[in-house]
Amino acid sequence: MNTEITLEQPQHFEVVEKLTAEAFGPGRFTRSAFRLRENVPHEPDLSFVVHVGDQLVGSVKLTRIKIGNAEALLLGPLVVAQSHKNSGIGKLMMETSVAAAQKTEFGAILLVGDLPYYQRFGFEKVERGNILLPGPADPDRILICPLQSTLTDNFCGLAERHP
């Protein structure tokens, strides 16, 4: 079946919410990354869905945040339907969203996730204590991907919701 990646549109909202609820459960609302996105619309030109045939099976969003005084992007949630895991859909969304972000003026993408998965897309662990989130987060899972030729050391301080 045909696999297609496109920008997320308003009509995808309900299915994306359902996928996200299935993957993360009710605890998702208490995560630090969720708090950083709360009431901030995701970037419409940097958020994608994947369809296999007619079925929406994947979603990734990027949202504008601040880290200290610098503007950056937060990646997440990244979610793939249980039925379509391990078939390259996560990889397709990560490569597409990082490539799209490279074309913007943002200097870095931050996310909270597993380094063994995300390092293949250019993410590295944030040096312990360099970036603080607005809630508890395992420091080993705070990851950053530099964009353009920005040094990730330029990003330090409190990560906050975009005003």
The residue ranges that bind ligand COA (CB under 6 A) are: 23, 76-80, 85-91, 113-114, 116-117
Minimum gap (Å) between residue 6 Cβ and ligand COA: 17
Q: Is the CB of residue 130 less than 8 Å from the CB of residue 158?
A: no
Q: For residues 72 and 12, give the distance between their C-alpha atoms in angstroms, rounded to a whole number.
A: 25
CB of 80 or CB of 145, closer to ligand COA: 80
Minimum gap (Å) between residue 147 Cβ and ligand COA: 19
CB of 78 or CB of 108, closer to ligand COA: 78
Our CA angle for 31, 27, 67, nearest 5°, is: 10
Residue type, 67: I
The CA distances from residue 29 to 9, 44, 62, in Å, are 22, 22, 17
* Residue showing the smallest CB distance to ligand COA in the complex: 90
Minimum gap (Å) between residue 69 Cβ and ligand COA: 26
CB of 67 or CB of 143, closer to ligand COA: 143
